[in-house]
């Protein structure tokens, strides 16, 4: 029973290039969340998706960032024209729909993260 799978684990890009981070949720989970963690800072919520739908993108920068969770395949976080400030660890997490939750709470299972370095 594989957990949340993220790849690549490490990604190096030059300024102006594009970064694509992939996330396969845990089996049976239909909700995907992306968080960003900067050094010495906490996890910052970016976006919440269900299959083919963006539910909440209030934490996503308005430009250059996009996310999708297609009907088939992993969720993708895409960063266009990367800048040095985008260097961070990006974590994906998944959770089941309401009926599968612990005491009704939205408990997240996290992947190991993708570490983006922008040169």
Residues lying near other proteins in the complex (CB under 8 A) are found at 4, 33, 35, 41-45, 48, 55-56, 91, 93, 102-103, 105-113
Give CA separation, 96 vs 36, 53, 74, 105, 115, in Å: 21, 15, 16, 10, 25
State the CB neighbour count (10 A cutoff) for residue 49: 25
- Residue 17 or residue 117: which is nearer to other proteins going by CB? 117
Residue 58: CB minimum distance to other proteins, A? 9
- Closer of 79 and 108 to other proteins (Cβ): 108
- Minimum CB–partner distance for residue 60 and other proteins (Å): 12
Evaluate whether 61 touches 44 at the Cβ level (below 8 Å): no
Collapsed DSSP state (helix, strand, coil) of residue 100:
helix
Q: How far is the CB of 107 from other proteins (least distance, A)?
A: 5
């Amino acid at each position: 029973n594989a957990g949340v799978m993220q790849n690549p684990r490490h990604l190096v890009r030059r300024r102006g290039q594009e970064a694509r981070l992939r996330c396969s949720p845990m089996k049976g989970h239909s909700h995907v969340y992306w968080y960003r963690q900067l050094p010495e800072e906490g996890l910052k919520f970016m976006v919440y998706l269900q299959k083919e739908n963006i539910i909440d993108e209030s934490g996503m920068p308005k430009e250059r960032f996009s996310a999708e969770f297609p009907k088939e395949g992993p969720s993708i976080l895409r960063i266009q024209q990367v800048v040095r400030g985008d260097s961070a660890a990006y974590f994906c997490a998944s959770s089941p729909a309401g009926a599968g939750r612990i005491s009704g709470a939205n408990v997240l299972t996290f992947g190991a993260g993708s570490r983006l370095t922008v040169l």
